[in-house]
Structure 1
Amino acid sequence: MSTALPDATLRRTGPAATPWRADPYTNALRNGHGPLFLRRSDGWLLPLDVERWCADADAADLSALRRCEGSVLDIGCGPGRLVAGAAARGHRALGVDVSQAAVDHTLRLGAAALLRSVFDALPGEGRWGTALLIDGNVGIGGDPAALLKRVAQLLSPGGLLIAETVQMDVDERVEVHVDDGHGALGELFPWARLGTPALLRHARPLGWQPADQWTTGGRSFLALRRV
């Protein structure tokens, strides 16, 4: 199966939200390492694993990629290890991200990516076989129900969503900054943190049913199918 997308498609870009274009995130991706955090208004810090994001797909990532079906859309693809990994496994794969640095890194890997939000118009809407929300990206937009509804619009009937969840029953919607640990902050933006039980609570009323659930390498994953 071909993994390539037309060059014209790759050049299309849409509006990009500013938080992930902030200097701390851009600098971390360009350097390939942190420190980098999400900072809540009360000072709480969530470390972001930039080194893992910029490396090849690890065993936990591969556990998700092995479950992918058909064409793969990686939402919030970051520097592109999962897009590249999916393409290497024979899937037609596309990453979308609101960070130019992330898209540039993905393209340098030889994978396909667009500078675009998941809530913008995307190619292949209603025809993707699998959508990925990995590395906490189930928190995009700070509104899990809105994100799940949008993913349902992107997938083909019976399509699969594979999401990474927090390893505890967390259901939190917050506003955060990207923080480099040295005083540089990105803009404030909404985010969410969900454990598997919380994601299921949001998903079931919207017509999603669990297809698989697993933990590996200290990370938790949930596969959902829209029925």
Structure 2
Amino acid sequence: MPGHPGPGLAPHAETGPPRHPGPGPAAHPGRGRARRGAAGVSPAPAAGEQAAPWSSDPYADALRVGRGPLYLSRTDGWLLPLEVERWCAGADTADLEVLRRCEGTVLDVGCGPGRLIAALAAQGRRALGIDISEAAVEHTVRLGGQALHRSVFDPVPGEGRWGTALLIDGNLGIGGDPAALLDRVDQLLSPGGLLIVETVPVDVDERVRVRVADGRGAAGSPFLWARLGTPALLRHARPAGWHPDGQWSTGGRSFVALRSRSASSTAEPPKSTAVITSQRVRKPLPARPAADR
């Protein structure tokens, strides 16, 4: 879900959470914005534990049927509704505005059921989605998009060469450590690359331990998540070398564009090859990724 500090998860109060969290920084340090080291945050669970909530019921079931109810649930009983129906529908006006601003090849981090990747493919744009949910990757591929089953903290094709990275639908929360996630994304982008983030439409900055639940008793294992509004995102981004490149709101949703640092010491060598494929494999096959073309 989108980050929003402060108020916490109110029962059925806010909408627009994450399409799928990924293993946290403990497992793969990188992928900026992978919740890492926030004050007062306990260590992230192991990769397997974090992946489970989004790789099996009830999240996978909701994606397969295209509807909820589905929530992020805290131990105190507060619930954040997840917009499964919107995620499984076509790109809306707010989504299309995001895609209009994308530059070069596009990496959708936590692509979920793939509406953004499918829309980019329909426009003839080169794009790849990554997600730790097999159901999400399968859905994306059925829509005609390219997607890989993996965490943002795993090796990603075209590291250091992506023109744009997306953290939409609350995916700024991945890993529960925005600073770590931002660092990882910086490694994935080309120098001066563009990151477009969806933020919570209120000024919040919180770290929570949640489960994916269907409201009928089924729930996945716990994982760390973060929620940030625009002011909080900028507080994390500026010290890390990110440069604000625009802010806007559309359809009740808030977005921020950031420019990456001018150089990345961990980027993949420019002439190395990597693959973009719709196959759900952990290791790339020898081929050229969209980012290389």
Post-superposition shift, 1:28? 0.2
Query: Among the aligned pairs, what percent are the same residue?
Result: 74
Tell me, which stretches of 5 or more residues in structure 2 are unaligned?
1-46, 262-293
- Aligned equivalents of 1:139 and 1:90: distance in 2? 29
- Paired position in structure 2 for 1:208: 242
- Aligned equivalents of 1:146 and 1:51: distance in 2? 30
Higher fraction of helix: 1
State the TM-score, normalizing by the size of structure 1.
0.92
Matches within 5 A, 1:65-80: 65-80=99-114
- Paired position in structure 1 for 2:211: 177
Give the AA of the match of 1:19. P
- Paired position in structure 1 for 2:71: 37
- For residue 23 of structure 1, give the secondary structure of its aligned residue in structure 2: coil
Matches within 5 A, 1:53-68: 53-68=87-102
> 1:47 aligned to 72, 77, 81, which one?
81
Note the aligned Cα RMSD (angstroms): 1.0
Tell me, which stretches of 5 or more residues in structure 1 are unaligned?
1-14
- Aligned equivalents of 1:60 and 1:44: distance in 2? 28
- Aligned equivalents of 1:185 and 1:54: distance in 2? 20
- Aligned equivalents of 1:41 and 1:20: distance in 2? 18
- Aligned equivalents of 2:78 and 2:250: distance in 1? 26
Aligned residues: 213
Counterpart contact for 2:121–2:144, Cα < 8 Å: no
User: Do residues 142 (structure 1) and 176 (structure 2) align?
Assistant: yes
Post-superposition shift, 1:123? 0.3
Matches within 5 A, 1:75-224: 75-224=109-258
- Aligned equivalents of 1:226 and 1:131: distance in 2? 10
- For residue 101 of structure 2, give the secondary structure of its aligned residue in structure 1: coil
- Paired position in structure 1 for 2:43: none
Higher fraction of strand: 1
Post-superposition shift, 1:22? 2.7
Post-superposition shift, 1:19? 2.0
- Aligned equivalents of 1:48 and 1:205: distance in 2? 31
- For residue 154 of structure 2, give the secondary structure of its aligned residue in structure 1: coil
State the TM-score, normalizing by the size of structure 2.
0.72
- Aligned equivalents of 2:164 and 2:71: distance in 1? 28
Post-superposition shift, 1:90? 2.7
Give the AA of the match of 2:118. A
- Aligned equivalents of 2:122 and 2:99: distance in 1? 10
- For residue 34 of structure 1, give the secondary structure of its aligned residue in structure 2: coil
